[in-house]
Structure 1
Amino acid sequence: MGWKGTRRTAASAALAGVIALVLAAPPQVGAEPRSGAAQSPGTAPSSAAAPSFGTVAARQDASPTPPPPRLPRNFRGKGKWIVRDLGITVPFTWEGRDGDSQMTAGGPQYPIWFTNLIYRNTLYTLTYKWPGLTEHPCSRIPGFNLEMLNEGFEKARFVGRETLRRTPQRHVNHWRVGVVLPKLPPGNYPRLPLALGDIYVDEDNRGTFWQVLQFGVQNLYDPELDEWLVMDTFEHRPGTVTLPQRCEPPQ
């Protein structure tokens, strides 16, 4: 759901949700193996997924592949939205109620302020503030809902079991989702990675999202095309979802 601007497709928007993808002066990335996992310090998992802020350590467990991420109908959480190349970190909230959901990053006193919503089968994005941005329309993609987002997650690839080195440490399952165009068979064909996302969900609850990296056209306003969300809390109880007045249809 971390998509901004008017040039978005439902597919790329879904990946950002979450979708979805960043701590003030985050710790250096390094690996601290758990349960005897073998990995060189300072390296990411062997599947070449992007290293996460707060640090991840791969765990070489032999247990079966867990079920993919699934955003719940009701939840509420707080954390940070980080745009590392701009040196910007702002407060972040993510809430869901009865299948609708809303992300809000920053506020009027911050250099970045936007909100993204899945609201009554429509995807909305409204960017109030962003460095260098002069247009502030409310973009709409009708026909998009929570079920479509979770269907996208069903196609995610499992990267591995990892530990986010924070306080407290989080034991997570790391997933990779992406949209690559055009869809061609294996071989020497030109391809464009339209949108990619690394999703870190609690190893005991695939509906608890702790961290998301998103990269691609949904991050068009950022020079490096990547942004992070990092959650400090995530509770499974109804949140508050409010459609901004600017996004309401004309009477």
Structure 2
Amino acid sequence: MIVPRAVTAPDAQLRVAMGWKGTRRTAASAALAGAVALLLAAAPAVGAEPRTGTGSGAGTVPSFASAAARQEPSAPAPVPRLPRDFRGKGRWIVRDLGITVPFTWEGRDGDSQMTAGGPRYPIWFTNLIHHGTLYTLTYKWPGLTEHPCSRIPGFDLEALNKGFENARFVGPETLRRTPQRRVNHWRVGVVLPELPPGNYPRLPLALGDIYVDEDDPGTFWQVLQFGVQNLYDPELDEWLVMDTFEHRPGTVTLPRRCEPPR
């Protein structure tokens, strides 16, 4: 996943987690990922299908997306919280590359795993929280020649949800898909420098728009992520769109390539 606030390590790691796949997997980029994790402030992954928005309201809908009916923000809803056990299927969308691949997101006992694409698709990666460590492994991506497994220790479900507590409530929306879904739109992000306010050069490192079910902040229907966590993509933005999301245990499997040496 991405908003001015005090810099804390957990929030930084959340930004990396939201864009799990996005940080580069070379040794140098692994160092960059770690630096970003330490710099990003206390919050994805994780868009109406797909649209972008800012603080209070109006956004634009890319041509591949369904429109989202906008309403004025009301009192903040409960913040997003990824559950301990869940499973869902959907699509991972990289619009500027014209790529859409199958996507799964599953959780079990507090661990969780994203998988996009597969051996027969142009992109294929997995990101997972496993026993208190954040792993990311990209098997395939256009132009990618290196495929190491990167690790960020000291990151778990509690840290992820702690970061979500600082998300900004944009407002209620309706995703005009089949079926239509009533959601609450949240934004997380990090911009440096955070302070002071006024006319100062600023760099938006990472942004995330998270759309959770209106009645259940633990059901995630859509996420847009934009920023350094998406360095493989020329436009720095990628979408995940869920078609199903069930609150029952999924499957989380640490790839052999990510296992510690024996």
Quote the sequence identity (%): 77
Question: Which of the residues 202, 219, 225 maps onto 1:191?
Answer: 202
TM value normalised by structure 1: 0.85
Which position in structure 2 is the counterpart of 1:93?
Answer: 104
Which position in structure 1 is the counterpart of 2:213?
Answer: 202
Give the aligned CA root-mean-square deviation in angstroms: 2.4
Q: Is the contact between residue 21 and residue 226 of structure 1 (CA under 8 Å) also seen in structure 2?
A: no
Assess, with a 3 A threshold, how the Cα gap between structure 1 residues 228 and 50 changes in structure 2: closer, same or farther.
farther
CA deviations 1:180-227 (Å, max 9, x no partner) are 122312112221111100000000000000000000000000000000
Aligned counterparts of 1:13 and 1:83: Cα–Cα separation in 2: 26
Which position in structure 1 is the counterpart of 2:57?
Answer: 47
Structure 2 unaligned runs (5+)?
1-17, 25-29
Q: What SS is found at the alignment partner of 2:84?
A: coil
1:214 aligns with 2:218: no
Q: Is the contact between residue 22 and residue 230 of structure 1 (CA under 8 Å) also seen in structure 2?
A: no
Structure 1 unaligned runs (5+)?
30-42
Aligned counterparts of 2:42 and 2:220: Cα–Cα separation in 1: 15
Assess, with a 3 A threshold, how the Cα gap between structure 1 residues 22 and 136 changes in structure 2: closer, same or farther.
farther
Which position in structure 2 is the counterpart of 1:3?
Answer: 20
Aligned counterparts of 1:72 and 1:142: Cα–Cα separation in 2: 20
Question: Which of the residues 40, 49, 60 maps onto 2:72?
Answer: 60
Q: What SS is found at the alignment partner of 2:249?
A: coil
Give runs of ≥4 in structure 1 deviating > 4 Å: 11-15, 43-46, 48-52
Shift of residue 54 of structure 1?
A: 2.7
User: How many residues of Structure 1 are paired with residues of Structure 2 in the alignment?
Assistant: 231
Q: Give the letter aligned to residue 237 of structure 2.
A: D
Q: Is the contact between residue 112 and residue 129 of structure 1 (CA under 8 Å) also seen in structure 2?
A: yes
Assess, with a 3 A threshold, how the Cα gap between structure 1 residues 151 and 48 changes in structure 2: closer, same or farther.
farther
Report the structure, 1 or 2, having the larger helix content.
2
Assess, with a 3 A threshold, how the Cα gap between structure 1 residues 100 and 175 changes in structure 2: closer, same or farther.
same
